[in-house]
Structure 1
Amino acid sequence: MDKIQGKAHFHEKTKILANQIEKKQIAVIDHEDIDPIAAESLIKKNVKAVINLKRSMSGEFFHEGVKRLLEQNIKVFDIHPNSDIGKWIHGREIEINHNYLFVIYSQKKYDVGPLKEYNMPFVRLLEEKGKKNLPITFEKFSSNSISYAEKDLIQLLECWKKWEHGSALQGKDVLIVIRGTDYEKDLDCVKKYFIRNGNNISLIAVDGAANEMLHKDMHPDYIIGDMDSVSSKVLQCGAKLIVHQGAKGHSPGMQRVKDHQLSANTVTFIGLSEDAAIAFALKEGAKKIYLLGGHRDMEEYLSKGRKGMGSSLLIKMLAGSKIIDLKGIHHLYDNSRKSQSLFWHFRKIYHSLPFLRGSKSEKEMREMKA
Structure 2
Amino acid sequence: MTAPRAVVSGTARLGRRTKDLTKRLRAGDIAVIDHEDIDRVAAEALVEKGPAAVLNAARSTSGRYPNAGPQILVDAGIMLVDDCGPSLFESVREGSSLTISEGRILEGDRELLQGAAQDAASVAAAILASREGLSEQLELFARNTLEYMLRERDLLLDGVGAPDIATDLADRPVLIVVRGYHYKEDLAALAPFLRENRPVIIGVDGGADAVLEAGWKPQLIIGDMDSVSDRALASGAELVVHAYRDGRAPGMERLEELGLADRAVLFPAYGTSEDIAMLLADEKGASVIVAVGTHGTLEEFLDKGRAGMSSTFLTRLRVGSKLVDAKGVSRLYRQRISTLQLVLLALSGLIALGVALWATPGGQAVFQLLGARLDDVLAWFTALFATRPAPGS
TM more than 0.5:
yes
The answer to whether the 8 Å contact 1:29/1:51 transfers is yes
Map of 2:200 onto structure 1:
202
Map of 1:340 onto structure 2:
none
1:233 to 1:319, Cα distance in 2 relative to 1, 3 A: same
DSSP-derived class of the 2:185 partner: helix
Map of 1:115 onto structure 2:
115
Task: Give me the whole-angstrom Cα distance separating, in 2, the residues matched to 1:208 and 1:167.
Answer: 20
Is the counterpart of residue 9 in structure 1 residue 16 in structure 2? no
1:328 to 1:286, Cα distance in 2 relative to 1, 3 A: closer
Map of 1:83 onto structure 2:
86
- Opposite residue 51 of structure 2, the aligned amino acid is V
Map of 2:76 onto structure 1:
72
1:86 deviates by 2.2
The answer to whether the 8 Å contact 2:80/2:118 transfers is yes
User: Unaligned regions of 5+ residues in structure 2, if any?
Assistant: 334-393
Map of 1:257 onto structure 2:
255
1:165 deviates by 7.4
- Opposite residue 316 of structure 1, the aligned amino acid is R
Map of 1:358 onto structure 2:
none
Deviations 1:290-316 (A, max 9, x none): 112212344434443412534224333
Map of 1:274 onto structure 2:
274
1:79 to 1:91, Cα distance in 2 relative to 1, 3 A: farther
- Opposite residue 257 of structure 2, the aligned amino acid is D
Deviations 1:222-272 (A, max 9, x none): 211112222233333332222211212222222223333334412222210
1:182 to 1:54, Cα distance in 2 relative to 1, 3 A: same
Q: How many residues align?
A: 326
The answer to whether the 8 Å contact 1:244/1:251 transfers is yes
Task: Give me the whole-angstrom Cα distance separating, in 1, the residues matched to 2:113 and 2:294.
Answer: 39
DSSP-derived class of the 1:315 partner: helix
Deviations 1:27-75 (A, max 9, x none): 1111111111111111111112111111112233123211111222111
Map of 2:315 onto structure 1:
315
Task: Give me the whole-angstrom Cα distance separating, in 2, the residues matched to 1:303 and 1:40.
Answer: 13
The answer to whether the 8 Å contact 1:175/1:290 transfers is yes
Task: Give me the whole-angstrom Cα distance separating, in 2, the residues matched to 1:115 and 1:176.
Answer: 40
Task: Give me the whole-angstrom Cα distance separating, in 2, the residues matched to 1:242 and 1:190.
Answer: 25
Deviations 1:93-147 (A, max 9, x none): 222123111235xxxx432211111111112212222334433432332233223
1:46 to 1:233, Cα distance in 2 relative to 1, 3 A: farther
Task: Give me the whole-angstrom Cα distance separating, in 1, the residues matched to 2:129 and 2:236.
Answer: 47
Map of 2:57 onto structure 1:
53
Partner of residue 225 from structure 1, selected from 219, 223, 226: 223
1:305 to 1:136, Cα distance in 2 relative to 1, 3 A: closer
1:158 deviates by 9.6
* Residues 273-352 of structure 1 aligned to structure 2 (within 5 Å): 273-307=273-307, 309-326=309-326
Deviations 1:187-245 (A, max 9, x none): 22112x42215x24111111112222211112212211112222233333332222211
Scaled by the length of structure 1, the TM-score of the pair is 0.78
Percent identical = 34
- Opposite residue 317 of structure 2, the aligned amino acid is M
Task: Give me the whole-angstrom Cα distance separating, in 2, the residues matched to 1:167 and 1:213.
Answer: 17
Task: Give me the whole-angstrom Cα distance separating, in 1, the residues matched to 2:155 and 2:281.
Answer: 19
Task: Give me the whole-angstrom Cα distance separating, in 2, the residues matched to 1:35 and 1:331.
Answer: 26
In angstroms, what is the RMSD of aligned CA positions? Answer: 2.8
DSSP-derived class of the 1:321 partner: coil
1:61 to 1:222, Cα distance in 2 relative to 1, 3 A: same
* Residues 145-184 of structure 1 aligned to structure 2 (within 5 Å): 145-153=145-153, 160-161=160-161, 163-164=163-164, 168-184=168-184
Is the counterpart of residue 96 in structure 1 residue 100 in structure 2? yes
Task: Give me the whole-angstrom Cα distance separating, in 1, the residues matched to 2:160 and 2:29.
Answer: 45
1:151 deviates by 3.7
Task: Give me the whole-angstrom Cα distance separating, in 2, the residues matched to 1:331 and 1:32.
Answer: 35
1:53 to 1:330, Cα distance in 2 relative to 1, 3 A: farther
Partner of residue 211 from structure 1, selected from 209, 212, 215: 209
DSSP-derived class of the 2:210 partner: helix
Task: Give me the whole-angstrom Cα distance separating, in 1, the residues matched to 2:147 and 2:37.
Answer: 24
Find the structure with the greater CA-based Rg.
2
Partner of residue 33 from structure 1, selected from 34, 37, 42: 37
Scaled by the length of structure 2, the TM-score of the pair is 0.74
User: Unaligned regions of 5+ residues in structure 1, if any?
Assistant: 334-370
Partner of residue 245 from structure 2, selected from 244, 247, 250: 247
1:194 to 1:162, Cα distance in 2 relative to 1, 3 A: closer
The answer to whether the 8 Å contact 2:272/2:309 transfers is no
- Opposite residue 252 of structure 1, the aligned amino acid is P
